[in-house]
Amino acid sequence: MDITTMRKIIVVAGARPNFIKIAPLMTALAELRACTPLLVHTGQHYDAGMSEVFFQELQIPRPLYTLGVGSGSHGEQTARVMLAFEPLLQHERPDWVVVVGDVNSTLACALTAAKQGVPVAHVEAGLRSFDRTMPEEINRQLTDALSALLFTPSEDANTHLHREGIAAAKIHLVGNIMIDTLRRYEMAARARQTCQRYDLAAGSYALVTLHRPSNVDERETLQAFLHLLARIHERTPVLFPAHPRTQARLQAWGMTLPKGLRLCAPVGYLDFLSLMADARLVLTDSGGVQEETTALGVQCLTLRDTTERPVTVTCGTNRVVGTEPCRILTAVNQVLAAGPIPKRLPPLWDGQTAPRIARLLAEVGGVGEAGAPPREVAAQLESNSLQHI
């Protein structure tokens, strides 16, 4: 389709995983020369190790707007983003608002845009854990319901959206945008050999991340994880880059770390990618880490009862093992006893997701009824509506 008009597109980022996803999209939109991408940083993550380092390492352009909403309860944070984003929208009057992932900023900006009659495009749409106790699950479902374009990373996401009654014309399987960033920086990350900084040898350690409220906000639960890590450390060294949320809980409760456990502050994207690539296994409650380890071919144990990324289990290296210590320890022992497993990638996890998204955003124009594309755009989507681009 000929591109005849310049689109003004606001791209929203608010938290660490968002920065990884918008980095290749900002590049792809700028290279297309049919869009004016405007980056808005809500400030949901504001710690230098969770925000600034990503802008530096991933060469993300400085945000045109920084909302500075900071931390708070889910309701407070969502409300602050909406209050700050509404006048910005009224001033800029964009053709599209692009939101990514499932954090509070994602839902807040999608809802504000929909109420202003600005079409929303959701990158990483359709993921479902079916666990409504996770705030992210509520954010995902509501954002998808508000969006005019839904860019999905895997076939299961398409299936979920179809079952929820979302028109097929809105849904586009484009692949996993996090893999775009991973492939671009993988060699540079591996060259860092970050594990040596912690006196670890490649292929000889377990890497751990914990940050979800269900795992760190109860003293007994967090203490149980520390005891578990001590037992894992008896089998293999353990490195634990602690999320600020987790660090705050450890300090507030005066918890003593098991002897030999390596605890460190959050590391930047390149260092963490290097640590993942060289790990023998990864234990995590993060969604993105499940995807990144699949792409790297590193075995991952997900410390949750559900995952919104089941493709990492069926096609990748991930196992969902829950939070019961004995079950986790058994899985760890199985991984350590077994050899490497074959690496398989889901379709379109090829590092070219951002250009696919950028082309669609450039071709589809016009501001219509909130939450739905205008009629001529809907017809265009129907004619182009393909599961693959």
Alpha-carbon gap, residue 316 to 283, rounded angstroms? 15
pLDDT at site 384: 40
Interatomic CA distance for residues 143 and 131, integer angstroms: 16
Q: Say how many CA atoms lie within 13 Å of 255 toward its Cβ.
A: 23
- Angstrom distance (rounded) from CA 45 to CA 300: 25
pLDDT value, residue 68: 82
Q: Under a CB-based contact definition with an 8 Å cutoff, are residues 276 and 292 in contact?
A: yes
Q: Which CATH number fits domain 7-176+349-384: 3.40.50.2030, 3.40.50.2000, 1.10.10.1100, 3.40.50.1950?
A: 3.40.50.2000
Cβ neighbours around 292 below 10 Å, total: 26
208 DSSP β-pair partners: 283
pLDDT value for 339: 80
Cβ–Cβ < 8 Å for 96, 74: no
358, 378, 385, 301: which is closest to 123 by C-alpha? 358
Domain range annotation of the chain: 7-176+349-384, 187-337
**CA–CA separation, 66 and 40 (whole Å):** 6
The model carries a pTM of 0.89
Spell out the residues 6+ positions from residue 195 whose beta carbon is closer than 8 angstroms to its own: 201, 202, 205, 239, 274, 275, 278, 279
Q: What is the chain's pLDDT, residue by residue, as a tens digit (389 residues)?
A: 344 467 899 999 988 889 999 999 999 999 988 889 999 999 865 554 456 788 889 999 999 999 988 777 888 999 999 999 999 999 999 999 999 999 999 999 999 999 999 999 999 999 999 999 999 999 999 999 999 999 999 999 999 999 999 999 999 999 999 999 999 999 999 999 999 999 999 999 999 998 888 887 888 888 888 899 999 999 999 999 987 778 888 888 988 887 878 889 889 999 999 999 999 999 999 999 999 999 999 999 999 999 999 999 998 899 999 999 999 999 999 999 998 888 889 999 999 999 999 999 988 754 333 344 443 444 444 444 333 33
The yes/no answer on whether domain 187-337 falls in CATH 3.40.50.2000 is: yes
Helix (H, G, I), strand (E, B) or coil at 49: coil
Paired sense of beta strands 171-173 and 149-152, if any: parallel
Q: Report the pLDDT value the prediction gives residue 5, as an integer from 0 to 100.
A: 64
Identical fold between 7-176+349-384 and 187-337: yes
- Report the alpha-carbon distance of residue 196 to residue 58 in Å, rounded: 23
Choose, from 160, 211, 233, 243, the residue flagged as catalytic: 211
Is residue 41 among the annotated active site residues? no
Check: CB of residue 341 under 8 Å from CB of residue 317.
Answer: yes
- Name the token pair of 28: 């792809």
What does the pLDDT read at residue 261?
85
